Amino acid sequence: MSRQKDLLKVAIVEDDNSYAEILYDYLKKYEQENEIKLEITRYEDGADIVEEYHGDFHIIIMDIELKFMDGMTAAREIRKLDKKVILMFITSIATYAIEGYEVDALDYILKPLSYNMFEQKLNRALLRVDGQEEHYFLIQTSEETLRIKVTEIHYIESHSHI
């Protein structure tokens, strides 16, 4: 991963202290295992991060159900300021997933969460931060559809326009 020497700024927005601690521990474990530098900032409510937001986070991991300003409202406010930050929601209720499309959320983390699942979701987020999220080109042949990574294509030539 190309982010090894860079500092990655991550915000945790979680009002439950025990769950915020779990997320912090998972991030620290990920940092050690992947030789990546993380700067982790915690907020207890959506209003807190919105009030202090300056567009300097790469990833925001945010609970949806918060006391004063819920995560979805906070995400809408953040999107007005920053279109590129990666938003990942934490929730115990999967029905919020559809609302996440409004704010271009990358993922949902359902509580309770194992470290392995968290690691997979964070890997996906880092690919987006690095601009390396995989894109594919589909090519239909007479026998099958080929799925080729765009980064692996060097040259395309077409002999028939079918």
Higher pLDDT among residues 98 and 71, named by residue: 71
Closest listed residue to residue 71, CA positions, set 112, 43, 111: 43
Statement: residue 160 has pLDDT above 50: yes
In whole angstroms, what is the distance from residue 106 CA to residue 125 CA? 7
Span 74-117, pLDDT tens digits: 999 999 888 889 999 888 776 655 565 567 777 777 888 889 98
Span 13-61, pLDDT tens digits: 999 999 999 999 999 999 999 888 999 999 999 999 999 998 889 999 9
pTM across the whole model: 0.74
Chain centroid offset of residue 148 CA: 24
Beta carbons of 39 and 10 less than 8 angstroms apart: yes
pLDDT recorded at residue 1: 40
Beta carbons of 48 and 14 less than 8 angstroms apart: no
